[in-house]
Amino acid sequence: MDLLERPAASARGTHEVANQTPPLAGYDLYEADLALREAVTRNGAAWAEPLLHEIGERGGSAEAIAWGFEANANPPKLKVFDRFGYRIDEVEFHPSYHRLMEAAVGFGFHASAWSEPKPGAHVARASGFYLWSQVEGGHGCPISMTHASIPALRAEPELARAWEPLVFARRYDGALRPAAQKGSALVGMAMTEKQGGSDVRANTTRATPLEGGGPLTPYALVGHKWFCSAPMCDAFLVLAQAPGGLSCFLVPRFLPDGSKNVFNLQRLKDKLGNRSNASSEVEFDGTIGWLIAQEGRGVPAIVEMVNFTRLDCIIGSAAGMRQAVAQATHHAAHRVAFGKRLAEQPLMQNVLADLALESEAATVLFARLARACDRAAAGDAHEARLKRIGTALGKYWVCKRAPGHVAEALECLGGNGYVEESIMPRLYREAPLNSIWEGSGNVNALDVLRAMSKEPGVLDSYFTEVGAAAGADARLDAAAAALRRELADPSEAERRARRIVEMMALVFQGSLLVVQSPAPVADAFCASRLGGEWGHAYGTLPRGTDVAAIVARATP
């Protein structure tokens, strides 16, 4: 053949693409999650299964998965002025962000536990939020804050009567206009400032009474908030210094006469992850807010909101871990290396099983805490105490585990997991967020100590809960006894806070798993996390672990 002759078409081809994992799409997230399905039934929300299947099918659809990618590839844009120079202080989002929000509000993740109270309502809502958060985490911020705002609003019944019908509506409208015209509302919060961070008592934003002061009266706020997430919400709970001390205010974007409230957006944060969600700096300059509760009672007024958003941090981290496990196990079930599927390779089985254990432990914990929310609302004092301490220790531990967990799951996909076309880089960037939002690790560890010292009954409730599993596993019993010894020594408690909270979280998770989960899962968790038969990285489960059963249980 002449060297200049054009080769035949078949010779110009590269090679047939083979041994690539098919996309994980077109499946039911709920159906594929055995641990969640069991937890939903066990915690009193079996009635919600038809809706959870609907959420799962929607979340596993190619369309919804595409929304998540598009919302993150096209982050929000701040528009401070219009073309004529008037301040508008709006944030523009990609249409896919709005589609995610429409679904979340339509399913009721923002308010259903309050608008339709019944046994298991918080469990059902938490489970749905967990499923939908696997699609995309950033848009969950305004959804979570709106859900958590209701207890704070109810501290002032008149405010609640005015705002609850708007908040409960399942119609999402992302436009910046009066909530009454939209017929729906979302609620955010603005607490932290440059100089204080988690130390909100260091806030310098001032609130001056305009009509004598007192509950439900207007105040003029002047100051700057360093982090105001979801600035396109319709109203915000804001902390500011009133004459009587740090106080909580409801600040709407529009005033009752339909005019815009002063809400000057300075910039949007350029964040590591959470790219679809707008986090802003906002300046108040005579901004009108209405006092909630009494002056000087700002922290107690907003603390219940914080507790519910902390539970959503646990749920969000659990969702990220579950999606990471689903991606890793799906990949391993299809990818062949050295003559066998990855899922059949003993060492890969150990890694996947270890990741699945961490994910399931997080799932059963958030579901149990959601049940505590349901029962606390019904007046159960034990459940209220368990919710109090369990949320703080779960926020510390589950959120702290997420980044390393997702990194290991990403590695299971190798180079394919490191590229943006896979969801893994987004999961990895998102993973540290929940450990920071609503108080970093140290803040939550110290909160556990505070709860035990100021509310002694919470520790009794914790050990009552753990005691339900007594005798089920010797390693769990030994760990619980070691924890009691650790707590009996009050010396240097603050310095030891992380160790104490870690022990409490692991014993709590172990007690739930030995009662609720299959033997291979409970045995492996107790052997590794409580019995010391574990290394320093995932994939170091001890010999005798039924890794195949654990992996099969977690594979979609």
Which are the contacts of 21, defined by CB distance < 8 A and separation ≥ 6?
330, 331, 334, 335, 413, 416
DSSP result, 287-314: EEEEEESSTT-HHHHHHHHHHHHHHHHH
Rounded Cα–Cα distance for residues 446 and 201 (Å):
16
Helix (H, G, I), strand (E, B) or coil at 8: coil
Which residues are paired to 92 by β-bridges? 77
DSSP character at residue 526 = I
Helix %, strand %, coil % of the chain (to 5): 55, 15, 35
Handedness of CA 101, 292, 227, 259 (dihedral sign): positive
pLDDT of res. 4: 46
pLDDT of res. 197: 75
Q: What is the pLDDT of residues 342-399, one digit of tens each?
A: 999 999 999 999 999 999 999 999 999 999 999 999 999 999 999 999 999 999 999 9
Among 77, 114, 83, 111, CA closest to 97: 77
pLDDT of res. 503: 98
Rounded Cα–Cα distance for residues 223 and 283 (Å):
6
Domain parsing of the chain, residue ranges: 34-296, 300-554
Walking along the chain (556 residues) 10 residues at a time, the average pLDDT comes out as: 49 77 97 98 98 98 98 98 96 98 98 97 98 98 97 93 97 97 96 83 92 91 94 97 96 97 97 97 97 92 91 98 98 96 97 98 98 97 97 98 98 97 97 94 96 93 97 98 97 96 98 97 98 97 97 97
Handedness of CA 137, 142, 143, 149 (dihedral sign): positive
Instruction: Please indicate whether the domains covering 34-296 and 300-554 agree at the CATH topology level.
Output: no
Q: What is the pLDDT of residues 286-338, one digit of tens each?
A: 999 999 989 999 998 888 899 999 999 999 999 999 999 999 999 999 999 99
CATH of 300-554, picked from 2.20.28.270, 1.10.760.10, 3.90.550.10, 1.20.140.10, is 1.20.140.10
Rounded Cα–Cα distance for residues 441 and 428 (Å):
18
Using alpha carbons, list the distances in angstroms from residue 259 to 88, 90, 216, 288, 467: 12, 15, 19, 11, 57
Instruction: Please compute Rg for the chain using Cα positions.
Output: 25
Q: Are 528 and 534 in contact (CB under 8 A)?
A: yes
CATH of 34-296, picked from 2.40.110.20, 3.40.980.10, 2.40.160.40, 3.40.640.10, is 2.40.110.20
- pTM of the model as a whole: 0.96
pLDDT of res. 10: 53
Q: Say what percent of the chain tops pLDDT 70.
A: 97
Containing 77, the helix (H) or strand (E) segment is strand 77-81
Which are the contacts of 475, defined by CB distance < 8 A and separation ≥ 6?
510, 526, 527, 530, 531
Rounded Cα–Cα distance for residues 277 and 268 (Å):
10
Length of the chain: 556
Rounded Cα–Cα distance for residues 163 and 85 (Å):
32
